[in-house]
Amino acid sequence: DGVHPKASGRAKMAANWANALQPQLQANNVADQVVLVEPNGRWHLRIEGQADRTFWYGAPGDVPLFGDWDGDGLSTPGAWRPGAGGGFAYLTNALPANGTVGVAQFDFFFGIPGDQVFVGDWNGDNKDTLGINRGGRIFLTDTNGSGGGAVPTNYDFFFGVPGDRAFGGDADGNGRDGVFLYRESSGFVYYTNQTPTSGVAPTADTFFFGSSSDQFMAGDWNEDGVDSAGIYRSSNTTVYLSNTNASGGAPAPTDISYSWGSPGWLPVSGRWQ
């Protein structure tokens, strides 16, 4: 057939490896999911048709975080604890079936009390790290530290106004997260695809999703490689997700909605299956 025997053997070996890896690749091809956290630190993972998978992580007053801290393709819990000396982060690579998560693999200082903390992959290394929003000034780090020390700020820029809430998300599908801003007073979303080291980040576009007092999150709900908007409406305990980042201030459509949770629970998002 004109194919060298060694080349044919290598092709068959490559095909065998591809077939062997296919179940793993399919398992990793999972959309982001919404996770709800009670104020007391009890986490809920939704499994349709079954009881929630629950565990405890953090303490009352902690800000729940959810991210892929080690680059294995799966999100695991974190907590940010404001205190007199600053903001202390505890991040774990464990996701237990039930019960309590053990010792955090990463523990470090980042931010100060009053900051709003959020999660994203700012440099495209497939590992999530933290960002903080300080009244419209954004600080991002590429480092998850350990040993209790402070981590460096790699990006320091302005985006949004006081009162906006910031969230990491990849709105253009380039493999690096930019920043979504949710203006809770109006339900308007602003996002940038850039994370400059200084100056002002340009607004890529704006759209409307949700209403006042909704709790925003961003995620890739349909596995298209692009993050879009989601909200948890505590007043009627309903999750609303959109697969489209609308433009020009237009409303984004609701593509998925379901009832879940209880009033006062906090939403985070990521890939845990």
pLDDT in tens, the chain (273 residues): 333 433 344 334 333 433 433 333 334 458 999 999 999 999 999 998 999 999 999 999 999 999 999 999 999 999 999 987 789 999 999 887 667 777 899 999 999 999 999 999 999 999 999 999 999 999 999 999 999 999 999 999 999 999 999 999 999 999 999 999 999 989 999 999 999 999 999 999 999 999 988 999 999 999 999 999 999 999 999 999 999 999 999 999 999 999 999 999 999 999 998
Contact between 110 and 90 under an 8 Å Cβ cutoff? The reply is no
pTM of the model: 0.88
Q: Which are the contacts of 121, defined by CB distance < 8 A and separation ≥ 6?
A: 68, 127, 128, 129, 168, 170, 175, 176, 177
**Distance between CA 45 and CA 37 in Å, rounded?**
9
